[in-house]
Amino acid sequence: MKVLHDHGLAPYHTFGIDVTATQIIEAENIDDFINIWHDASFNNMAKLVVGHGSNLLFCEDYQGVVILNRIKGITQTETSTSFCLHVGGGEDWHQLVRWCVDRNIGGLENLALIPGCVGSSPIQNIGAYGVELKDVCQYVDVLDVITQEIKRYDAASCQFGYRDSIFKHQLKDGHIIVAVGFCLPKMWQPKIAYAPLNQFDIATVTLREVFDTVCEVRKAKLPDPAVIGNAGSFFKNPIITKNMLNKLQVNYPTMPSYGVDEQHVKLAAGWLIDQCGLKGYQVGGAKVHPQQALVLTNIGTATAQDVISLAQYVVDSVVAKFDIALEHEVRFMAANVETHLAEIQA
């Protein structure tokens, strides 16, 4: 393992907030993780495993050890019907998608340009353009740092939900995702129901066309974290009842919605925020992105409190206009434990 001497966290999370950690360590293999957890010098310190930090807001200096998952490697096997990939948790997600497209392996292309590492993808059950991680995940290998055992969880055992999984709950603490297995069918079936992919003919569209289009759209709509600090979609799309939707559409007939089940629909959080006139709204160095209201950004000078205050203002504005409480998708980290916007503002 590699102990970093600069404890500044700005390079290790995409918001780029100027905070520090007591210690930052790179873990390149499973033994590194075990050694960190069983090293007496770290026994009484909080520990946080981070990939690229693409879904994190450090609310203050982290009083503990930040461990960077850098377990690499992609192993490909196949059956008569599928390509099977075993991918290290520290691999870059988008580079994995590109790797597959370059080899004409379909299934991940709708998830292109989602920032983060492979090991983080099951935690959030990442999704875009009609595809979620659960649709392509075969298994997740998890290290229990206390018992030092690795257990394989099949997709059903991961309890995937909308931006949710068992890794946010029962397996949240003391469990490290060291690898993810993917099963991608050789008979590729494009997923193009969502705009802008619905412009294509399902009989003629190519894997490369889907990948390129997703990349183009995301680049046009979303700020590059390397240029403007952000954590992607800040809020989850809220799920409400169809009865509530019918009432809202009396005043907002163009409100977009997507069916979830017989009784519920999903709304577009970005649309709700936009209707509140918040594109470009700014608190200190934190700003609602002018092109995509779902993204809160650090324009270069934001403090954690700026982002927190802006997030609360967005939540309050949407409640006032629609009586819908947005829930943040971004994880909030306090001094040594995960927290929540409501707890901070209480």
Catalytic (active-site) positions? 163, 233, 329
> Bridge partners of 3?
25
Contact 300, 285 (CB under 8 A): yes
Cβ-based burial of 111 (10 A; exposed 0-12, middle 13-18, buried ≥19):
buried
**Amino acid identity of 115?**
P
Q: Which residues of 130-146 are buried (b: 16+ CB within 10 A; e: fewer)?
A: ebbbbbbbbbbbbbebe
> What single DSSP character describes residue 202?
T
What DSSP assignment string belongs to 32-57? HHHHHHH-GGGTTSEEEEESS-TTEE
Q: How many residues make up the chain in this entry?
A: 346
Tell me how crowded residue 13 is: count the other CB atoms within 10 A of its CB: 23
Complete edge-to-edge strand list for the sheet that includes strand 338-339: 56-58, 331-333, 338-339
HSE at residue 277, side-chain half, CA atoms within 13 A, is 2
> What single DSSP character describes residue 237?
P
How far is it, in rounded angstroms, from Cα 250 to Cα 76?
52
How far is it, in rounded angstroms, from Cα 299 to Cα 167?
32
How far is it, in rounded angstroms, from Cα 26 to Cα 262?
46
> Tokens 């290790």 correspond to what residue?
12
How far is it, in rounded angstroms, from Cα 97 to Cα 92?
9
State the Cα angle at 334 between 333 and 340, rounded to 5°.
65
Q: Who contacts 31 (Cβ-Cβ below 8 Å, separation ≥6)? A: none
